[in-house]
Amino acid sequence: MDPVTSPSRHRQAADEKAHAKASPRRPRRRELDSAENLRDRVYRFSDLSRYSFRDRMLIRIADLILSSLIVLTCSTLRWEVRGRENLDAILTSGHRPILASWHACILSATWFWRNRGIVVMSSVSRDAEYTGRAIKRFGYGTARGSATRGGGRALAEMAQCLDNGIEVGFTIDGPRGPAYVAKTGALTLARHTGQAILPFHTEVRRYVEFPSWDRSHVPLPFTAAICLIGEPIYVPRHATSDELIALQARVQSELDDLRSEAETWRTGA
């Protein structure tokens, strides 16, 4: 079992602590319905009826190809993890992580964090249909929106997920780059929810790089892999403009440092 595939004892303790702090009253039916509707909305496969028959077939085929690629390439990886204590620190404090990484490591990261129920932002487009379906096969959910379309709605849904104990994540240089430049979505969400941004980076020793803007890495089977987990970054709700600029620079710097450390590991320098 990978070190972060399932909740740790720290997370279970945090859940118990949060439950103990909760109001003793029984939740109203409307609250239960809201939580159930939220989970149904983020985890179910989206309705494809608005697409033509040809597009529906293409989406389903692309979904199966992508999910099969992840299994074939990532199930054989040999993992090393550094910084696990940073995740544990968030969970034991009763908070939830807002995971943040680069598009380049999306395949290996999808496998590494699988089956935690993490909800990620997914753009509103036809291409996002098959990627969304593929990652849901690994236990993820999606909030539909991007920096250019429906972003506010998606952030609101991710905030609701955090309020219901569901972890969320960003490929923070998406949806269209530039690569390795952090957008502000994670910062905005952290500010409004009080939850912690958790930067991380995954790297593999041998891979094929896609000729695309995000330079995604496709791991080669049986290679070594590493996940580097950075320190949590909390954003005060009433942070000033200068403080927000400094915190955004910290997110960028932390991810850059993790990427640099991963490259040193990969090359053995």
**Would you say 167 and 96 are in contact if contact means Cβ atoms under 8 Å apart?**
yes
Q: What is the pLDDT of residue 264?
A: 96
Mind giving me the DSSP string for 169-190?
EEETTTTT--TT---SHHHHHH
Mind listing the pLDDT tens digit for each residue in 175-232?
A: 788 999 999 999 999 999 999 999 999 999 999 998 888 888 999 999 999 999 999 9
Portion of the chain with pLDDT greater than 90, in percent? 73
**Would you say 263 and 244 are in contact if contact means Cβ atoms under 8 Å apart?**
no
Q: Which CATH architecture has domain 29-267?
A: 3-Layer(aba) Sandwich (3.40)
Q: What is the pLDDT of residue 19?
A: 42
One-letter amino acid for residue 97 of the chain: P
Residue bearing tokens 């892999």: 225
Q: What is the mean pLDDT of the chain?
A: 87
**Would you say 175 and 146 are in contact if contact means Cβ atoms under 8 Å apart?**
yes
Q: What is the pLDDT of residue 24?
A: 44
Mind listing the pLDDT tens digit for each residue in 131-146?
A: 999 999 999 999 986 5
Longest CA span, the chain: 58
Residue bearing tokens 């949806």: 175
pLDDT, mean of residues 249-260:
98
Q: What is the pTM of this model?
A: 0.86
pLDDT of 11 > 50? The answer is no
